[in-house]
Structure 1
Amino acid sequence: MKHDALIAHLRDVRQHVDGYRASSRQELVEEEARAIAEEAAYERGLEDALVRSSILVEQALAAAASEVQTIRSRWSIECQAMISTQAAAYRAGLEERLSAGVVNALAPFIDEMQRIRIRASFLQFLRKTLPNGFVTEVTISGPASEEEFIVDCLGKVGVRAVYRPSESSEMEATIGDTIINVDFGSWTQRVLTEFVEARNVGS
């Protein structure tokens, strides 16, 4: 009798253990399934975030490039207009104070003063309109006498000037696809010629 009761008890214990093992296996399967699902959701979320970040970066770069291009498109016209206006104002000042003979006698001085004005206007225009953070190097060709001054001035505003000396009186700045050109000789000659012609008409 006791033997039968012991066997029955052991059978109950075994069934209980088997049931516990089955339950544990089921829980492990469910836990593993949840972990897989959570990992997949995390990966999808990460992928979506990367896609959105990439789109935002592309939009920001496109907007910045568009702004830079807009600024560059105005450089050449604005620079020439500024220099032309200043040259005309300088000529008007000369007409008020000097005669044609004095202009011819002071031609070297006028040439140097006009060169200083054109150079200053050219540099002022570049410093004012170069977009910060986008342009750090400018290629310039021009008279060798201008190299040290131009390179030093642009260097002070964080722009590296690659200067190529030439025997021409022209100075040309290349920034990407934009070319800005000024001619020291032609501007000075224009001042002298127009001044003399104006004096001849008035005499």
Structure 2
Amino acid sequence: MTPLVDGSFEIREMHMGINGRRLDGSQMAARGYTLSATDFHIVIEIPVGSPDGHYKRHAPDYQYHVTYIVEPMLEVLWRTSVSRDDARYKVLFPITTPLVLHAPHVQENTVPEARVFSVVLGPLLHDVVLRNITFFTSVLTVEESNARGFTVQEHRHSNGTKSISVSVPFAADIVLKDASEMMDAKCHFVPAYLLRFGFSDMTESFTSAES
């Protein structure tokens, strides 16, 4: 803004907003936003993850990344010292953070006494969809897995993310059993989760995680 450079002006009003809508002081404070001015700049600070923005998924090189996108608005009313005329400036400027690697985490919750393998994948963004589960001997869809007596469930969390749990009985035919010389059966279950992300600008994007 040129008037901020030459100094021949007086700022009479200064407001910020989100998505074209002005916020008052209490709304800004509740969200942790700040608006300030120096001799040369007007500064808006918005915490990453604020409720007025949203996360977007990306999969460069088949790795799960996220960015955060928010669109603040700045509105300034100033008066020049020469003409004494008021001028109003209003601009929207979308901000996108750099890519951040956010690899899915697999947590194993298996309790041997229950005779059921149990793993949880997450946290994931709300529009990530599990399509297939790759086992040692086959690749099954979620529907096929549930039909064979496995339990595949989504768990949505209050912060907008979700996790996916998979439970498979020890007795399932996809579980490899390794019998030792003592005839004690040892079960091995290493699922690979294949996720498909619903990007609007990509046909297919995949990532995988193994436990």
Q: TM-score range by the shorter chain?
A: under 0.3
> Does 1 or 2 have the higher relative contact order (CA < 8 Å, sep 6+)?
1
> TM-score, structure 1 length as denominator?
0.27
Structure with greater strand share of residues:
2
**Relative to total residues, which structure has the larger helix share, 1 or 2?**
1
- Give the TM-score taking structure 2 as reference length: 0.26
